[in-house]
Amino acid sequence: MKNSILILFMSAFAWTACDAQTQDTTKKENTSEMEQFEIAKSEEEWKNELTDEQYYILRQKGTERAFTGKYWDHKEDGSYACAGCGTVIFTSNEKYDSHCGWPSFTKPAEKGLVVEKLDRSHGMTRTEILCATCGGHLGHVFNDGPMPLGTRYCINSGALEFENDSTNNSNPK
């Protein structure tokens, strides 16, 4: 019995040490990855330019609570830009109600606007979405969206700024 407990304890310790080493490597990869984006600013610059919520989401990879963001149920025609750099990432044409509590899109407005990255935080394996211009955390993409693409880009409202479509703003969905 004592041997079983000892083996269990040592296995847990080895797993924790391995997980800590993986997290350190990930942080190093994140640092070099952030340097490759077109817009690179210091943390102090980001803090001065973003609201507290935007900084938490875009720079600290935070998330807002479901059904609380300003765009989860937003139905106007227009574009959704990265709140960090202003790059248009999504359009209302691709927005749909996934009933998840966050703005959901079937795809970005154009290829190359987002960077996908493996995310193993919070005991889950997901695909994180970053703005390809500034590296801001936008949300995650899942393979449970509507066909034909089957993708659901689940995005934090706090990572977005809406730009009204001036050519068709009198026709809300």
Catalytically active residues, by annotation = 154
Cβ within 8 Å of residue 161, ≥6 positions away: 80, 81, 82, 83, 86
Please provide the distance, in angstroms rounded to a whole number, between the alpha carbons at the two ends of the chain. Answer: 65
Kind and range of the H or E run holding 101: none
134 and 45 Cβ atoms separated by less than 8 Å: no
Between CA 85 and CA 80 the distance in angstroms is 12
Taking alpha carbons only, the member of 43, 69, 41 closest to residue 55 is: 43
**For the residues of 32-63, what is the DSSP string, one character each?**
HHHHTSSS---HHHHHHHS-HHHHHHHTT---
